[in-house]
Amino acid sequence: MKIHRQQFEALRPLDLRSCHTVADIIDGMSHCSFGARMLGEVSATIAHWVEAGIPPITVSYVRPASRLGHLLKTMAAQRWLGDVLTAGEHTTSVQSTHRHPVLVVGSYPETDEWLWRNRRRSTIFINQFGQARPGQVRDGYFPNVVFADPRFIIPLLSAYLDERLAGRPTTISQFLRTCARLGGEAAAVAHGACTVRAMVEDAQCTVFSTFAGAMTPAKMGLVICDMIDLGMTQFIASTGALMAHGLVEGLGRTHYKYNPQHSDAILARRKLNRITDTLEPEENFDAVEEVITHVLEADNEQLTISPVELHRRIGQYLAEHYPQHRGILKSAYQQAVPIAVPAFVDSEIGNDVFVYNARRRAASLPGICWDLENDTELLVETATRAKRLGIFSIGGGVPRNNVQNVAPLIEIYNARRTRGMKRLPPRLFRYGCRIDPAPLHFGNLGGASYSEGGSWRKMDLAGRFSEIRLDATIVLPFIVKYVMET
């Protein structure tokens, strides 16, 4: 089966500079990936239904007397939703409503699965447990669902419909005030936004940002650029993959929306690498390799280098040769923000450097040695020079642990120092905000609480910390835009 590039929709980076309202951001999310795309597409679908005169009947699994329950009733009064029914009410009227689209809000019990198993009309599910009609979603394809806490998603939908259908825009500050009253992850987002703003506005606070997950193929690269350009972060630790995919954007190349009509076997033959619901053409990595080779060849007399220094050089190359494109490494170079990748070998750029060294050795030339300790020294220096520390983490993994580890590293350095080793000032993180859907009971770092970090003497437990258990592609743009607004 031959694949033409025209068969795939090109994705677009979310540009917060051109977004002024909640609805603007949600529309931009339609051209992104993962949870952001789910939210963008579902919002547009519901707006289309309302404009066509068929607002969805809503089956609510939330308490009718709750603030979320009242919001659903308000949306129905605006005629953005049809009748708001409990599961029991819908069961008795299932025959009369089977021709209407349905919005299912909240988690439903196993006893109600039969209601949705054979439903053929469009049904949208909003819950944080991955529940949908059997067969509706599959690997890489998530139509008509948003898998996140309805207490955060429903007010977003309300704000979107209010602007698109009634012409009443909602600012991010207004939206977050609503979230603060709804509880659950909505309140957590509002608290987190205030925490991030507090650490950014604290002139004596150095903010460390850590990024894991596929945020750049998710088209969040320009959001991270805004964080750098606006002084929201002074040190970044990231996965290598995130920087490699971000470099693709910095070169002006494109990611594509996955089309489930094409199997992974077909994609493999066409060298279209799938990242959940997104495609990364292998030719993008060929362009990355050309840049890496050029950068390394430009100063091949320096045989020892660290990831921070390599990223600085790449950023400089982008600034000189790709001035028309925004990119994370370019912004970091221009704002003198170091980008560390503690697990550097686990990335496409790491692969490129390995092959580069292999070619040099084959030509009887010495290979480049990687000095990761140099980046650790920079991390310690940055932390000890700061009056207060803040950390803003997207996901967990090596980047988050690498930065948080600076506190116990200083502790054991002081405890084990010998003559000639200068004592370092101890440091704890005073602020923290993390966005990661992993629950505490999974036991991984993404879900680890700041309180747990306090037991390691990483966190000042008298400080301000926020924990948001949601898909970061849905949350990060609103937090960054909130700081930009205020």
For β-strands 256-257 and 278-281, DSSP reports them as antiparallel
69-124: pLDDT as tens digits: 999 999 999 999 999 998 778 766 655 566 789 999 999 998 888 888 877 679 99
% of residues, the chain, pLDDT over 70: 97
Mean pLDDT value across residues 423-436: 97
- Cα 108 to its chain centre, rounded Å, is 27
Q: Closest by alpha carbon to 100, among 122, 118, 84?
A: 122
Q: What's the pLDDT at 116?
A: 87
Mean pLDDT value across residues 228-237: 98
Spatial neighbors of 115 by CB under 8 A, at least 6 apart, are 59, 87, 90, 91, 94, 108
Q: Contact, 259 vs 277, CB < 8 A?
A: no
135-165: pLDDT as tens digits: 899 999 999 999 999 999 999 999 999 999 9
Distance between terminal CA atoms of the chain? 52
Mean pLDDT value across residues 186-195: 99
Pick the CATH number of 202-472 from 3.30.499.10, 3.40.910.10, 3.40.47.10, 1.10.3720.10: 3.40.910.10
Q: What's the pLDDT at 232?
A: 98
Mean pLDDT value across residues 359-368: 93
Domains 9-173 and 202-472 are alike in CATH topology: no
For residues 475 and 300, which has the higher predicted lDDT (pLDDT)? 475
Return the CATH architecture of domain 9-173: 3-Layer(aba) Sandwich (3.40)
List the Cα angle 309/315/317 in 5-degree steps.
105
- Domain parsing of the chain, residue ranges: 9-173, 202-472
Q: What's the pLDDT at 57?
A: 94
**Torsion angle, CA of 341/343/346/352, rounded to 10 degrees?**
50
Q: What's the pLDDT at 96?
A: 54
E strand residue ranges, 21-122: 57-60, 84-85, 102-105
Spatial neighbors of 187 by CB under 8 A, at least 6 apart, are 151, 179, 180, 181
Q: What whole-number distance in Å separates Cα of residue 429 and Cα of residue 466?
A: 13
pLDDT band at residue 442 using 50, 70 and 90 as cut-offs = confident
For residues 86 and 273, which has the higher predicted lDDT (pLDDT)? 273
Q: What's the pLDDT at 1?
A: 46
Q: What whole-number distance in Å separates Cα of residue 5 and Cα of residue 379?
A: 43
Q: What whole-number distance in Å separates Cα of residue 464 and Cα of residue 326?
A: 33
Mean pLDDT value across residues 24-48: 98
For residues 285 and 115, which has the higher predicted lDDT (pLDDT)? 285
Mean pLDDT value across residues 46-58: 96
Q: What whole-number distance in Å separates Cα of residue 278 and Cα of residue 221?
A: 15
Q: What's the pLDDT at 326?
A: 97
Spatial neighbors of 332 by CB under 8 A, at least 6 apart, are 228, 236, 311, 312, 315, 338, 339
pLDDT band at residue 274 using 50, 70 and 90 as cut-offs = very high
Q: Closest by alpha carbon to 318, among 348, 295, 344?
A: 295
For residues 2 and 334, which has the higher predicted lDDT (pLDDT)? 334
User: Is residue 4 over pLDDT 90?
Assistant: no
% of residues, the chain, pLDDT over 90: 87
Sign of CA dihedral 457, 458, 462, 468: negative
pLDDT band at residue 266 using 50, 70 and 90 as cut-offs = very high
pLDDT band at residue 445 using 50, 70 and 90 as cut-offs = confident
Q: What's the pLDDT at 401?
A: 95
User: Is residue 51 over pLDDT 70?
Assistant: yes
For β-strands 429-435 and 388-394, DSSP reports them as parallel
Q: Closest by alpha carbon to 213, among 451, 407, 478, 444?
A: 444
List the Cα angle 90/96/98 in 5-degree steps.
80
As given in the structure block, the two tokens for residue 158 are 């309300």
pLDDT band at residue 346 using 50, 70 and 90 as cut-offs = confident
